[in-house]
Structure 1
Amino acid sequence: MMFERFAADARSAVIDAQEIARRRGARSIEAVHLLLAVAEQDGPAARALGATGVTAPALDRLATATESADALDRDALAALGIDLDAVRARTDATFGAGALERAGRRRRRGHLRFTTEAAKALERSLREAIDLRSRSIDTGHVLLALLRADGTTAQRTLVAALTEAGADADALRAALEGPRAHGDGRAAS
Structure 2
Amino acid sequence: MFERFTRDARSVVVDAQQVARELRSPTIDSRHLVVALAQGPGPVATALRAVGADPDDVAASARRDLAAGDPLDGAALAAVGVDVDRVRQQADQVFGPGSLDRAGRRTARRGGHHAFAKDARKALELSLREAVRLHEKSIGRRHLLLGVLRADCPGGRVLQSALHDAGTDVPTLRDTVEQVRA
Give the percent of matched residue pairs that are identical in Structure 1 and Structure 2. Answer: 41
Q: Which residues of 2 match residues 46-85 of structure 1 at below 5 A?
A: 46-72=45-71, 73=73, 75-76=75-76, 79=79
CA RMSD of aligned residues (A): 2.8
Structure 2's unaligned 5+ residue stretches are none
Q: Which residue of 1 aligns with 2:139?
A: 137
Q: Give 1:15 shift.
A: 1.1
Structure 2 residue aligned with 1:160: 161
The TM-score with structure 2 as length reference comes to 0.80
The letter of the residue matching 2:168 is A
For residue 134 of structure 2, what is the amino acid of its counterpart?
Answer: L
Flag the 1:113–1:166 CA change in 2: closer, same or farther, 3 A. Answer: same
Once residues 38 and 65 of structure 1 are traced to their aligned partners in structure 2, the CA distance between those partners, rounded to angstroms, is 16
Match of 1:186 in 2: none
2:127 to 125, 132, 140: 125
CA distance in 2: counterparts of 1:169 and 1:16, whole angstroms: 24
Residues 38 and 45, structure 2, Cα contact 8 Å, conserved in 1: yes
| Number of residue-to-residue matches in the alignment | 175
1:149-188 equivalences under 5 Å are 149-150=151-152, 152-178=153-179, 181-183=180-182
Q: Deviations over 1:146-170 (max 9, x none)?
A: 11221x2211111111111111101
Taking a change above 3 Å as real, the CA distance of residues 82 and 165 of structure 1, as seen in their structure-2 partners, is: farther
Q: Deviations over 1:84-128 (max 9, x none)?
A: 7x66x969x9777xx489533568421111112111111110000
Gaps spanning 5+ residues in structure 1: where?
184-189
